[in-house]
Amino acid sequence: MMSHDGCSASFENGKMVADKIRQMGFDQQMMPMSFELSCENCGNDFEMDCFETHCPNCDMVYAVTPCHAFDPSNIKAAGISY
């Protein structure tokens, strides 16, 4: 049984983060502030402005939970077309 433990949740990988924000309905919501990212797959620079954002060049999926969206180091790659 999974419980929601607020902002203390830790995720092993980006797929877990993407699954969680999709489950919570936050995936298409705008983040409080956007971040400029460099895709770890293709190197393309793009702006992440939703809690789930896809690289426009290679479709690598990036996700971050609302509680952790203040720090770009919390953004995790979930996989291409995940």
d(CA 3, CA 37): 31
Q: What is the pLDDT of residue 1?
A: 36
pLDDT single digits (tens) 19-47: 999 999 999 999 999 999 999 999 999 99
Predicted TM-score (pTM) of the model is 0.89
At 6, the pLDDT band (50, 70, 90 cuts) reads low
Domain ranges in the chain? 11-80
